[in-house]
Amino acid sequence: MKEAENQPRAAADRFDIEVSPIRLLEEIRSLDDKTWEKLAPRYGVANPDPPWKVALAATCECLSASDVLPSLDRRRAEDRLGETLYRETPAPEQQVLALAHTLSRGLMTEEDLARRMNAVRARLDAD
């Protein structure tokens, strides 16, 4: 075996985002009334930052710290998806869609993603 084959691949080589649409995320993206800008007033919230912003940042940090999804790779994927599939999506929602898209392209299945989203939806609807 060559010495180069024993070396870990560079982050950019390990992770190349596929830009094809994901049915589940396309359904969510197309829901115009589900942006934080439109949901906040409905729930009487004046804070312009969505409540999930801190959890999203923490998730990204944990994925990076464990080298599951290094920050640079995640940002590249987020930029690429933001320029293509999620171009028309507002910034906070664009970031969460890009992360879900990235995770469902090899780090978890679309079925796993759907189950987790349903669990969150059930908790929100229970209130």
- Two structure tokens written together for 65: 């710290």
Mean pLDDT, the chain, whole residue set: 83
- 7: phi > 0 → left, psi -120 to 50 → alpha, else beta; which? beta
> Tell me, what's the pLDDT at 11?
41
Q: Work out whether the CA dihedral 91, 97, 101, 107 comes out positive or negative.
A: positive
C-alpha span between 4 and 44 (Å, rounded): 57
The per-residue pLDDT for range 32-61, each reduced to its tens digit, is: 777 888 888 888 889 888 888 899 999 999
Neighbours of 105 (CB within 10 A): 18
The per-residue pLDDT for range 92-117, each reduced to its tens digit, is: 899 999 999 998 887 888 899 899 88
Q: Of 106, 69, 82, which is closest to residue 29 (Cα–Cα)?
A: 82
Task: Return the amino acid letter for 112.
Answer: D
CA angle 36–16–1, rounded 5-degree value: 150
User: First CA to last CA across the chain, in angstroms?
Assistant: 58
State the pTM of this model.
Answer: 0.76
